[in-house]
Amino acid sequence: MADPPRRGRPSAPTFIVPPPLPPVDLPNLDINIRQLAAVTSLVFDCMRWLAEHRLITNTFTCQACDQPMRLQKREGRDYIDGYAWCCPGCQRRNSIRVNSFF
């Protein structure tokens, strides 16, 4: 028997780039500033590029309740990137920049 259709919004993703991530050799990355600007012109495209190159975390687990956090679009001055990692269990939020040098 088929599952009944889900109601409401679909769940937010628990990743930026679908795993598995390919290995990255940043010191030998061959890209110029013009190419980098084209790849990162939109916020989500920039996040995806940074996650693919492991410069930001691709997935995040809540440190309070050990559940996978979901990537959600957020607005306001507290969300400079427009996105945040949000825990569906305890409602905690983290910046997408957490554990990075940004």
Tens of pLDDT, residue by residue over 14-50, are 888 887 667 777 788 888 999 999 988 999 999 999 9
Rounded CA separation 64/53 (Å): 27
- Does residue 89 form part of some domain? yes
Give me the domain span that covers residue 36: 32-95
Of 25-29, 30-34, 69-73, 78-82, the poorest mean pLDDT is in 25-29
Rounded CA separation 20/50 (Å): 15
- Does residue 101 form part of some domain? no
- Does residue 64 form part of some domain? yes
The count of C-alpha atoms lying within 13 angstroms of the C-alpha of 50, restricted to the half-sphere facing its C-beta, is 23
Residues 6+ apart with CB under 8 A from 60: 68, 69, 85, 94, 98
**What tokens were used for 94?**
């983290």
This prediction's pTM: 0.77
pLDDT at 80 over 80: yes
For residue 53, the tally of other CB atoms under 10 A from its CB is: 16
- Does residue 57 form part of some domain? yes
Rounded CA separation 66/88 (Å): 11
Total structural domains in the chain?
A: 1
- Does residue 7 form part of some domain? no
